[in-house]
Every structure is written in C-alpha cells, then in structure tokens.
C-alpha cells in the first residue's frame, strides 16, 4: 500500500533508536578541516611590497645607529674634543659615504613619502657634504666648528629616524 502519506513519512526525520543503554543516531556529515594547522599569529615580518607597512625597512635601523655613532666621532674630532693634529682629507670620503648611505637608508617605500625625520637626515647629510670641502681645505676655525655641529646634528637625526621609523613599522603590524 503506497500512497502520498508514506512519502511524507519517509521525508520526516527518524527518532533515534534505543540500542541497549545507548541511543543510536543517524551519522552526520564529517567536518572538513584543512590538513595543515593555521598559525595563531600572523607572519612576524612583512615583505617589502606588502601594503600596510610604513617607515624604514627593518635592516635600516641598525645601519642608522652605526652611521650615528660614526658621525658622533667625526663631529667630536672636528670640535677638537678628540685631539687631532690636522684636518684629514679622509673627511671627504666620509662625507661622500655618509651622503650615499643616508640616501640608501632613508629611501621611501613604493607609493609613500619620506617621513619628516628622514627629510631632516637627508638635508643634514647634504649640508655635511657641502661644508666638508671648505672645512678640509679652508683655514677658518668657524667652518671646522660648523662641520662638527653638522656631524652631531646628522647623528641626532639618524637616531631619530631609526627610533621613529622602527616605532611606525612596529605599530603597522
């Protein structure tokens, strides 16, 4: 005897059957889980081209600190806090290397502009490069003192760019 009511009876869910002390239920579909566990924390470092990262690249902060320490030594030498008998032409090499390294270490990322601390560091490096030639070959004491002050200002701006850039990078993670 097959009628419409029997099909309605078949589409209704069945009540669980009792088998001994346990209740048997119909099997449920299995949950699909990925084969690899997902990390709880995102990646520690972002790649250079990923959006959302600002500031200086991670390798630049140690380079800026090293640059600042060399600028402090050079500035103290120009101000005669570290005794030096004569002006060295190696200061010309130092000014050239400082300018190139500042341009390299303070370059902005794609689509971004330089931070104010990076601009200050770049302007100070250009000033150091321009004042070095008269300071080495000139005989004015004031030019040598200005060179020492510029070296110390470059050291301070490099440290500021390293600190500000690393904080901005850390905050954007």
Measuring CA to CA, how many Å separate 20 from each of 26, 36, 41, 143? Answer: 16, 39, 47, 101
| Spatial contact of 75 and 148, defined as CB atoms under 8 Å apart | yes
Domain count of the fold of the chain = 1
Is 79 inside any structural domain? yes
Going by pLDDT thresholds of 50, 70 and 90, the confidence category of residue 66 is very high
Domain assignment present for residue 158? The answer is: yes
Mean pLDDT, the chain, integer: 76
pLDDT exceeds cutoff 70 at 140: yes
**CA torsion sign, 110 to 111 to 115 to 119?**
positive
Q: pTM value?
A: 0.62
Average pLDDT score over residue span 57-83: 87
- The percent of residues in the chain predicted with pLDDT above 70, rounded, is 60
114 found inside a domain: yes
- Residue 115 counted as domain residue: yes
- Which pLDDT belongs to residue 85? 61
């Amino acid at each position: 005897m097959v009628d419409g009511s029997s099909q309605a009876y078949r589409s209704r869910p069945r009540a669980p059957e009792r088998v001994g002390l346990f209740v048997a239920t119909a099997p449920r579909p299995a949950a699909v889980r990925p084969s690899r566990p997902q990390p709880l924390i995102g990646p520690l470092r972002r790649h250079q081209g990923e959006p959302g990262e600002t500031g200086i690249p991670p390798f630049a902060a140690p380079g800026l600190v090293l640059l600042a320490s060399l600028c402090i030594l050079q500035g103290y030498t120009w101000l005669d806090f570290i005794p030096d008998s004569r002006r060295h032409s190696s200061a010309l090499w130092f000014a050239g290397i400082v300018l190139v390294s500042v341009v390299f270490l303070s370059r902005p990322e794609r689509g971004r502009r330089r931070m104010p601390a990076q601009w200050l560091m770049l302007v100070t490096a250009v000033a150091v490069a321009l004042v070095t030639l008269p300071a080495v070959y000139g005989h004015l004491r004031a030019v040598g003192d200005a060179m020492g002050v510029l070296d110390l200002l470059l050291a301070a701006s490099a440290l500021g760019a390293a600190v500000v850039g690393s904080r901005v990078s850390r905050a954007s993670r």
